[in-house]
């Protein structure tokens, strides 16, 4: 288990975007009865709604968020044809990947 902590300083400004995309994927996971992914969505929704919002996350939590965003890209562009939402999810994935790169560089 990776215990590195990653600081996501822009989480407050990205919060609404994540909540929107996670909500979309939560509905898909619920329909397809993907219980693990549904729980991960619920955990992220809870974390994003905390006041004050937490800015430090474990690698496992960020990996779960990255996977949700990856599913969002595939579903929203491939199934729904919603390319703007897919592009938004890609931008958020890139932010998460940059956090991992910062730790690996140090």
pTM over 0.85: yes
Concatenating the DSSP letter of every residue in the chain gives ----EEE-TTHHHHHHHHHHHHHHHHHHHHHTT-HHHHHHHHHHHHHHT-SSPP-EEEHHHHHHHHHHHHHHHIIIIIIS--HHHHHHHHHHHHHHHHHHHHHHH-
pLDDT tens track for 18-60: 999 999 999 999 999 999 999 999 999 999 999 999 999 999 9
Residue 91 confidence (pLDDT): 98
Q: Which residue range is the domain that position 34 belongs to?
A: 10-105
The confidence band for 78, taking pLDDT boundaries of 50, 70 and 90, is very high
21 falls within a domain: yes
3 falls within a domain: no
The confidence band for 2, taking pLDDT boundaries of 50, 70 and 90, is low
The structural domain count of the chain equals 1
52 falls within a domain: yes
92 falls within a domain: yes
Residue 106 confidence (pLDDT): 59
95 falls within a domain: yes
């Amino acid at each position: 288990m990776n215990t590195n902590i990653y600081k996501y300083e822009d989480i407050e400004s990205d919060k609404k975007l994540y909540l929107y995309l996670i909500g979309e994927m939560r509905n898909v996971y619920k329909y397809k009865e993907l219980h693990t992914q549904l729980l991960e969505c619920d955990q992220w929704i809870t974390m994003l709604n905390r006041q004050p919002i937490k800015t430090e996350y474990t690698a496992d939590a960020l990996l779960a968020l990255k996977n949700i965003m990856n599913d969002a890209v595939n579903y929203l562009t491939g199934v729904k044809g919603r390319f703007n939402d897919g592009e938004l999810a890609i931008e958020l994935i890139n932010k998460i990947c940059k956090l991992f790169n910062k730790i690996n560089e140090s």
